[in-house]
Every structure is written in structure tokens, then in C-alpha cells.
Amino acid sequence: MIRIEDIVEKVRRNHPEDELDLLRRAYFFSAREHKGQVRASGEPYLVHPLEVANILADMRLDAISVSTGLLHDVVEDTLVDLETIRQYFGDEITQLVDGLTKIAQISNISQEEQQAENVRKMLLAMIKDVRVVLVKLADRLHNMRTLQFLKPEKRRRIAQETMDIYAPIAHRLGMGKLRGELEDLAFQHLHTEDYREIAAQLEKRRPENEAFLKEMTGRIEEKMHDEEVPYVRIEGRVKRLYSIWKKLRSQAISLDQVYDLVAARIITPNEVRYCYAALGVVHNAWKPVPGRIKDWIATPRDNLYQSLHTSVIGSKGQPFEVQIRTEEMHQIAEEGVAAHWKYKEGKRGARDDDDALKVLRSLVEWTQEVKDSKDFLDSLKLDLYPKDVYAFTPMGKVIQLPRGATPIDFAYMIHSEVGNTCTGARINGRMVPLRTQIQNGDVVEILTTPSAHPSRDWLNFIATSRARNRVRHWVAEQQRTESIEIGRKLFEKEATRFQLTPKKVLTDDNAEFKHVANDYGYGRVDDLLAAIGYGKLIPRNVIAKYLGPEKFAELDARKESRLRTGMQAVRRLIRMGDDAIVVRGVDDLLVQRARCCNPLHGEEIIGYITRGKGVAVHSKSCKNVQALMVNPERIVEVEWAGKPEKAAYAVKLLATTENRTGMIAGITGAISDMKTGIRDARASVAPNDRGRIEVTVEVFDVKHLDKVINSIKSVPGVLDVERLQGAA
Ligand code: MN
């Protein structure tokens, strides 16, 4: 078992100013808490945190990271909570341990293979400190190294997850060496047969390969020497097993045909010109293969990998690859982000404007200005998917959203029908308002009601264009449907006056009427009706066009004479719906309900001819009516146009709610979604800090009322709804 003092010594060498005693304290704490626990290998559990800490120390990470390695499983696997960690080890380590515990939770939910990309991004987006990822990768590396002790099924699952999630993260962070080891270990457990086969073939060729590499590196050394190009060392490398396997698969070739199975690597001092000089040396000595030169120095890869690659034809006619890079490029290719800690130290010391800073500056392509480690971490984090948020469905599927997205956006990402019928949402098991912004890692559950509809209000807070388009589309459709309905009613009323049968006029095969619509520029009769509904066209004019001038004049005159007899009521609609009011015997008078009593459908009413404002309709019980009786000649008989049993009654409801914003909007939204009229709504806060919302609704019967009450109750935040007695 590795000793803690060996680890302390490694950290001391790289970070002499760090608090080394922290490591010892973390060690004793971890030893005490994991006491009695055993790994699948039969070893004491403590071996695992110690090995993880050792990997981190070898990455030259600081005392905080290495201590986190010692403590990383304590919260997850023992009874210790984060508060205890905070007491003993402070905020920084607590945050790191917390991050690790969260990652462990995420890995437990997500198993679907095709969402690996999203899980990776979410992990990175969630993490506030890149050291969390480094500790996690070290943890995973040690677990992969000891995977053989687990049962086959678990082995497979962990290996697959390593391949899907952790190796790509290591790649993204430029950590080539770690990625390589993770991939080869995972490969070994996922495709054991292929792994053995390739390993055996490689082993058979080993003497040959080694001899060849030795010869090549020796000859390169000679040539470099002859041409006086400085170099640090020449290495040989054999391609990793997993890379070989991928190549064999994708190109359907045999091992002999893998041209870069072995490669020589020239490591130069830290000046780019030596790389190009070395390339010149190689191309002078051997014939380059056309099209195989790759300059990753001039254009580094996304993860900052820099190198020159070329393939040349060797002495026996077989191609082989040469990679050329400076020492720092090499270090970054192998260690990626972790290389930062080394250069951070270099910067602190005497080597102020030396090459180390240049490398830092190339790291800075991600990070802009690097002032200290924290800035580095912060800016690194900003670079990793700052615009996205990743959330889960209850089934564990990852949904990618822009920052600021709400449950409505989430619902539309799942399916437009889910969005269209969304009535509420739970985040991490708790009911939330629909405008709540989703955070990374949230589990979002959408509640739907088949009869529910989108609300125009949503447009005020949704974040995705997908949701926006769907809601807009729905609102437009809705408006159009309503306009057609209104237009149809207005038209029918007018048509009846001209002794037309509206149903016959409006049938689809009435070509004449369709012509009229076309004359107005509308393709379909519905479009014409919508235009009437919007108030763009007057029904009378449409009828005139339909009948032609002569017939129209004739019917119009007859209509006038009929009216003059006073035998038939003239109706004027103050608005569409069932509470239209009819004034008997009087044509063309404005009718409006008096504000003082606002008579309800079904109530006994009386009309009073005002000066210039048409007929005011009062409730017979209105206290102002007495005064009006002074001028009896101005009183007219009026009556409700709708059938009495369809009359709407105003009912006052009181909703008790949580005290928060948006409640009125939520409640009135729910009511209008039930296609129910609202007379009045007002909110106040009760002394017990509950919201009180009084709303007066128009209902037709008790059944209707119950539906409305239920829909209000389903609004998130509503605690209770009761009916208030007395006049509304
Ligand atoms: Mn662990």
C-alpha cells in the first residue's frame, strides 16, 4: 500500500508553499471514516482514496486537490456530511467534495448511450472548479485499473461509461495520456476477445518493432546531430491498442497496413523553429508521403494539442510516422489542463518571461487573461458550454436547453403536444411556477391536461424559439377560429334580415358566394368570415355584393318597411355571446349596460334613452331607476336576446394562494382557458401572508362553476378556492 508520506513528498516537491499538513489530516480522517470497509479486491477501502491521491500528486496538482482525492468518497460512502467536512477542511475542499458527490449522483441516473454527449456537457457545465473533474478522472482511472474484481455486468457498465463519458472529457481537457489509459482499459473489458487478439499480435511483433524503432530513433538522432538542430530527446511510441482497433475497424485493414503503428517522436527545446527545422531534417533524410504532413502547430486542435506529424518511407520501403513537438507542447498533449499547475508554479518563481509563459498564453486561448489560479478556473469554466443548461426527464433522458429556459421550453423539447397541454411542472419533486428557470442537473416533470391550451402569457418568459413558435402559432390559430365564429354570427344575423338562409349561402358548393370572397381577395369563405370577425368587412356590404345592386335595394326597402311596422324587434348586439340585449321597436340605437348596476343576464331590465349615448340598460332594481322615471317618455322596453337557460351568472370566488408574483395571471389564465368570462379580479395580501385573490366569473350553471373552481385549484401556488355569497 502506498504511504501517505510518499504523497506528501510529491506535493511538497511541486508546491512547496502549500499546507502539507492538510494532506495528513485528510488521510487520518479518511482512514477513520472508511475503517472496516473493504473493496471488491479484498483490500481495505483506504487503498482507493490513497491511490487516487497519488495519481493526483503525480499530475502535480496542489494540496487542496490531492486532499480532495483522499476525501472524495467520504460523503458518498460513509455517514459523514458536508458540514463536517467544512468544519475540518474549510469551504474550498467542501465545494470540491460536493461537486464529486453530485457527479456520482448524475452517473447513477444516465445510462442511455446516445445521450453521452449531453451528459458530458452537463458534467462540465455543472462544475464550478475544473479540479473536480481532475479528481473524478483520477478516481475513475483507479477504478478502471481495478475493474477485474467486479462482476462482469458491472464491469461492462462502468467500462462503457468510461468510454462514453470520461475518456471524451479527458480528451476535451487535452489530457492525452489519461485518456489513452482509460480507453485501453475500457476497451479491454468491452471487447475482451479483440483486445487479446491485438495484444497477442503486437506482442509477436514486439522484437521487430523495437528493433525498428531503435534503428529509426538512432538514425534521426544522427541526422539531427549532423545538421546541428537541437533536440531534447527522440522517443519511439507504439500506437495504443484501442486506437489500433478503431483503425482496423473503420478502414477494414490488417495490422500490417497500419502505417502509424509505430512512430518516432522528436521532442525539441521550447522554440517552435526547432520543430520546423527538425521536420526539414526528417524530410531530407527520408522521402515524405505526400498529403500526410499535418501542422497542428500553426492550427492547434480544439484541446490545444500541438505537433507536426509527417509520414516518411523507411529504408525497407515501409512508411512510418514522425511526430515533432516542443517539450511544452508534449507536456500539454499528455497532461492538458493539468499541465497548468506546473506552469503556474513556474510563473510564480524566477522564470518570469520565459517559455513557460508562452505555453500559458496558448492555454489562454481559452482563458483570456490569466492572473491567478482562480481566474484560470473561472475563465475555463466560462469556456465550457456557458450558454447551455442540461436537465433530466424523470426517466433520466437528458434535455439540452439554453440558459434561462423554463418548464414550458422543456415541455416543447419533449414534444409539441406536451407543450400545448402543459399545466404545471415539478422540479426535483417540487411544484414550481411555469416561469421558473431550469438549472443544470434539475429533474423536470411536466404535468399535462389533455384539454389544456397554451397561454399567451408564456410568450413573456419562454426562452426557446421552438416553444415561442408553437405558442404563437397556437394563439394565431385560436384568434382565427374565434374570428371566423364571430364573423359567421354577424353575417348570419345580417343575412336573415335580407331573407337569406345563411346555411345555404355559406355552403362550400355555393360558387357565387365563393366568388364574392375572391372579389375581396380571400381564397376561402372562412377567410372572408374571419375578416368580418376582425371588423375589416361589414356584413351588409358583403351581402350587397352577393345579391347585386338591384336585388339588394329591393330587399333593403322591404326590410325597412317591415321594421317600420314595429312588428319585429330590432336587435343590436353590444357584443357577441349570450347577453346581447334587444330594444323593442327602436332601430339603430346604441345599447349599453349602465355602469352603476351592470345588469346580469336574466335580470329584469329597463332601457333609458340618454342624450347622445343611446340606450342605457339598467337593472329594474337599480337605485338610479327611480330618478329616471321622472322622464317616462324616455323609458323603453328592452329584453335579453339569449335564451334564459343559457344565461350567465356572475359568481364571486375567493382564492387563497401562496404570496408570490404571477398568481393573478395564473388564475385568470386558467379561467380564460376554460372559455369563461371574467368580470373582475383583484389581489391583496392577508395578514397571515397568504395571497387573497377575488375574482368574479361568468358561469352558466353549477357544473360550469365546478369546472372553473377545479381549474383554479390546479394553478401552482393556489391553496384553496371558495365561493363567496352575496351579490357579485
Ligand atoms: Mn472513488
Distance separating alpha carbons of residues 262 and 285, to the nearest angstrom: 18
Q: What is the pTM of this model?
A: 0.55
What stretch(es) of the chain map to CATH 3.30.70.260? 649-723
* Ligand 1 centroid from CA 14, angstroms: 24
The CA-atom distances, in angstroms, between 715 and each of 343, 635, 651, 658 are 56, 46, 19, 11
pLDDT at 177: 93
What stretch(es) of the chain map to CATH 3.10.20.30? 403-463
pLDDT at 681: 78
For the domain made up of 403-463, the CATH class stated in words is: alpha beta
Grid coordinates belonging to 552 = 339588394
* Ligand 1 centroid from CA 648, angstroms: 67
Instruction: Compute the average pLDDT of residues 110-122.
Output: 60
115, pLDDT greater than 70: no
pLDDT band at 566 (very low <50, low <70, confident <90, very high): very low
Q: Which of 483, 502, 501 is nearest to 491 (CA)?
A: 502
**pLDDT higher at 357 or 100:** 100
- To the question of domain 4-190 being in CATH 1.10.3210.10, the answer is yes
pLDDT band at 630 (very low <50, low <70, confident <90, very high): confident
What lies within 8 Å, CB to CB, of 435 at 6+ separation is: 406, 460, 461, 662
* Ligand 1 centroid from CA 158, angstroms: 13
* Ligand 1 centroid from CA 73, angstroms: 5
Q: Which of 386, 516, 522, 410 is nearest to 463 (CA)?
A: 410
Residues pairing with 622 in the sheet: none
Give the torsion sign (CA, 533, 537, 540, 542). negative
pLDDT at 583: 64
Instruction: Compute the average pLDDT of residues 340-364.
Output: 40
Q: Kindly report the number of other CB atoms within 10 A of residue 549's CB atom.
A: 9
pLDDT band at 47 (very low <50, low <70, confident <90, very high): very high
pLDDT at 49: 96
pLDDT band at 370 (very low <50, low <70, confident <90, very high): very low
- Encode pLDDT of 417-447 as tens digits: 999 999 999 998 889 999 999 987 788 999 9
403, pLDDT greater than 60: yes
Q: Which of 1-10, 44-53, 338-347, 446-455 has the lowest mean pLDDT?
A: 338-347
Q: Which of 194-203, 344-353, 488-497 has the lowest mean pLDDT?
A: 344-353
222, pLDDT greater than 90: yes
pLDDT band at 556 (very low <50, low <70, confident <90, very high): confident
pLDDT band at 725 (very low <50, low <70, confident <90, very high): low
Q: Hey, is 246 helix, strand or coil?
A: helix
* Ligand 1 centroid from CA 366, angstroms: 29
Q: Which of 368-377, 393-402, 622-631 has the lowest mean pLDDT?
A: 368-377
Instruction: Compute the average pLDDT of residues 308-312.
Output: 90
**Measured between alpha carbons, how far apart are the two ends of the chain, in Å?**
82
In the block, residue with C-alpha cell 503556474: 344
For the domain made up of 649-723, the CATH class stated in words is: alpha beta
**pLDDT higher at 669 or 202:** 202
The answer to whether the beta carbons of residues 313 and 283 sit under 8 Å apart is no
pLDDT band at 255 (very low <50, low <70, confident <90, very high): confident
Instruction: Compute the average pLDDT of residues 280-300.
Output: 85
Instruction: Compute the average pLDDT of residues 340-344.
Output: 57
Instruction: Compute the average pLDDT of residues 237-259.
Output: 88
624, pLDDT greater than 60: yes
pLDDT at 116: 67
**pLDDT higher at 279 or 536:** 279
Instruction: Compute the average pLDDT of residues 181-201.
Output: 95
What stretch(es) of the chain map to CATH 1.10.3210.10? 4-190
* Ligand 1 centroid from CA 388, angstroms: 28
3-state helix, strand, coil in the chain (%, to 5): 55, 15, 30
Distance from CA of residue 694 to its chain's centroid?
A: 36
pLDDT at 66: 96
Amino acid at 202: L
pLDDT at 108: 59
Instruction: Compute the average pLDDT of residues 49-54.
Output: 96
Instruction: Compute the average pLDDT of residues 181-210.
Output: 94
What's the mean per-residue pLDDT of the chain? 81
pLDDT at 122: 65
149, pLDDT greater than 70: yes
**pLDDT higher at 371 or 682:** 682
What stretch(es) of the chain map to CATH 3.30.460.10? 194-340
* Ligand 1 centroid from CA 141, angstroms: 10
Q: Which residues are catalytically annotated? A: 76-77
354, pLDDT greater than 80: no
pLDDT at 139: 95
Q: Which fold has domain 194-340?
A: Beta Polymerase; domain 2 (3.30.460)
pLDDT at 587: 45
What lies within 8 Å, CB to CB, of 390 at 6+ separation is: 118, 119, 121, 122, 125, 126, 398, 399, 400, 401, 440, 441
Q: Kindly report the number of other CB atoms within 10 A of residue 177's CB atom.
A: 14
> Would you list the DSSP string of 374-416?
HHHHHHHHHHS-TTEEEEE-TTS-EEEEETT--HHHHHHHH-H
53, pLDDT greater than 80: yes
* Ligand 1 centroid from CA 532, angstroms: 71
Instruction: Compute the average pLDDT of residues 528-537.
Output: 79
700, pLDDT greater than 70: yes
Instruction: Compute the average pLDDT of residues 269-285.
Output: 89
Instruction: Compute the average pLDDT of residues 242-256.
Output: 88
Instruction: Compute the average pLDDT of residues 224-248.
Output: 92
* Ligand 1 centroid from CA 252, angstroms: 38
* Ligand 1 centroid from CA 137, angstroms: 10
pLDDT at 350: 30
Q: Which of 189-193, 374-378, 568-572 has the highest mean pLDDT?
A: 189-193
Q: Which of 124-128, 129-133, 534-538, 630-634 has the highest mean pLDDT?
A: 129-133
87, pLDDT greater than 70: yes
**pLDDT higher at 641 or 694:** 694
Q: Which of 240-244, 338-342, 454-458, 574-578 has the highest mean pLDDT?
A: 240-244
96, pLDDT greater than 50: yes
Instruction: Compute the average pLDDT of residues 473-481.
Output: 85
* Ligand 1 centroid from CA 428, angstroms: 26
pLDDT at 261: 87
- Angle CA(116)–CA(122)–CA(125) in degrees, nearest 5? 145
Query: Percent of the chain, pLDDT > 70?
Result: 83
* Ligand 1 centroid from CA 89, angstroms: 19
